[in-house]
Amino acid sequence: MRDLTVIFDLDGTLVDTAPDLIAAANHALGDIGLDPVPGFVLAPAIALGARFMILDGLKHTGRHLPDGEVDRLLKLFLDYYLANIANESRPYPGAVDALTTLKAQGARLGICTNKRSHLSNALIGALGLNDLVHAVVGRDSVKKSKPHPEHLMETIRLADGDPKRAIMIGDTAVDVATARAAGVPVIGVPFGYSDRPITELAPDAVITHYDQLLPAIESLVRRFAAA
């Protein structure tokens, strides 16, 4: 794995954050008297960020608010989420072992996420993952966030990696589109928050458990080396 760069999405890929994000969204929406919105409604918006979760929650309830009021709800969301960022969020089974092995074998590791950087770092810190990744790049750290390829390329750069020797791991159409736009192979996971089966998005490979990640990476490396 030496000289290889592996970039992960965060929410729904490395960490199951849906319970805490959904709680934060419903906390904010509850401020205007709305009943809790079901998780299956809010989860697909996680890939796009907190504001989209609020907007989808409002749409589900038939409410429309001016931008200023949405901004106020967004602040309520973010404040609540930061204070409760790892109440129920946990790395997916096998994820920590996979990161540890990849790093020990010389891979450069990064996180490319549409979560804000300070929240991403707070979550990673709360889960004890700081020492396993070389770069964390949130949506507010780049001019154009996912699915724009700039976000992924900047993450690779900050991880001191090489785009020609990089692979991305993600769970949604946003991640697959980002990798495709950057010309980077992508591995999909089916246990995240996509509103479509990951196989329909045609990633280069799919894993159903992190025990399968290293063999999948090795297979992709061989495939693209032979192309």
Give CA separation, 72 vs 4, 68, 136, 217, in Å.
42, 6, 27, 43
In a 13 Å sphere around the CA of 210, the CA atoms on its Cβ side amount to 20
Residue 175 falls in the annotated catalytic set: no
Q: Of 3, 9, 35, 67, which is the active-site residue?
A: 9
Residue 171's identity, in one-letter code, is D
206: its two tokens: 């799919």
Catalytic site residues? Answer: 9
